[in-house]
């Protein structure tokens, strides 16, 4: 199992450009998440999905869009990139462990908007 | 979401036990106590979770106070690889979400 795979690992965008951060998991997990982490801070939830075709907003959804057409893939779309979106982005999926769900995270995408 | 309080940082010595505290005085009966850690330049990693009883796994132990208002993550023998930011998180049993705070930085001295 590869787990949660994110691409690209690094990206520099110019203000106003758009891009899609890719996330795929091979564990057949229904729940998937996108978080962002600013320097020295904890993770903030952007969007999440409880299954194919179902997505919902998290804490900081503005400036982002998601889709979930398959169980495996959960891409995050940035439209009209802004410097405030400079951050490290983590994708995650959740798995059942004992009595509750645990999360497994990808290695992140470091995005800089200039 | 109920809040947790952790020290900003702690130091420990290699091969000694480490006790990482977490206060969660507003915890509700359906909140699970989760611990994650984040090594430098990596995504967070699940460590352990519990509801009421103490829990052990291959990575750590979780000791939960009888009133559930605090918990302690125990690393039985710290290694340099355990140096990370540790997050204590309350996850409402009916929620799909995990809400992270700023966490606590653990430094392990050789």
Partners of A25 in beta bridges: A4
For the residues B77-104, what does the mean pLDDT come to?
89
Percent of chain A residues past pLDDT 90, beyond the cut = 87
* Contact (Cβ atoms closer than 8 angstroms) between residue B20 and residue B72: yes
A46: left (phi over 0), alpha (psi -120 to 50) or beta: alpha
The Cα–Cα gap between A12 and A4 comes to: 22
The Cα–Cα gap between A75 and A71 comes to: 11
pLDDT at B19 over 70: yes
Q: Which chain A residues are Cβ-neighbours of B52 within 8 angstroms?
A: none
Q: Does B11 touch chain A (CB under 8 A)?
A: no
CB contact under 8 A, B34 and A50: no
Terminal CA-CA length for chain B: 38
Question: Among partner residues B49, B96, B102, which is closest to A102 by beta-carbon distance?
Answer: B49
Confidence of residue B92 (pLDDT cuts 50, 70, 90): confident
CB contact under 8 A, B100 and A43: yes
pLDDT at B93 over 90: no
Q: Quote the pLDDT of residue B1.
A: 59
The per-residue pLDDT for range A83-97, each reduced to its tens digit, is 999 999 999 999 888
Q: Which chain B residues are Cβ-neighbours of A55 within 8 angstroms?
A: none
pLDDT at B98 over 70: yes
Confidence of residue A39 (pLDDT cuts 50, 70, 90): confident
Q: Quote the pLDDT of residue A103.
A: 93
CB contact under 8 A, B46 and A103: yes
Q: What separation in angstroms does the CA of B35 have from each of A33, A71, B48?
A: 18, 26, 5
């Amino acid at each position: 199992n590869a787990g949660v795979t994110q691409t690209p690992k690094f990206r520099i965008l110019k203000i106003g450009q758009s891009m899609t951060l890719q996330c795929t998991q091979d564990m057949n997990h229904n729940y998937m998440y996108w978080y962002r982490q600013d320097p020295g801070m904890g993770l903030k939830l952007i969007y999440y999905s409880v299954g194919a075709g179902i997505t919902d907003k998290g804490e900081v959804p503005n400036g982002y869009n998601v889709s979930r057409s398959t169980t495996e893939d959960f891409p995050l779309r940035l439209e009209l990139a802004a410097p405030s979106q400079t951050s490290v982005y983590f994708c995650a999926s959740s798995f059942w462990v004992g009595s509750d769900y645990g999360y497994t995270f990808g290695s992140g995408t470091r995005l800089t908007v200039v | 979401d109920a809040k947790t309080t952790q020290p900003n940082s702690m130091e420990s010595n290699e091969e000694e036990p480490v006790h990482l505290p977490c206060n969660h005085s507003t915890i509700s009966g359906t909140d699970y106590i989760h611990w994650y850690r984040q090594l430098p330049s990596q995504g967070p990693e699940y460590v352990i979770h519990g509801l009421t009883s103490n829990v052990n796994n291959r990575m750590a132990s979780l000791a939960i106070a009888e009133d559930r208002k605090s918990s302690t993550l125990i690393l039985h023998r710290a290694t340099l690889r355990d140096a990370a930011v540790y997050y204590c998180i309350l996850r409402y049993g009916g929620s799909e979400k995990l809400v992270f705070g700023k966490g606590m930085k653990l430094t392990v001295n050789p």
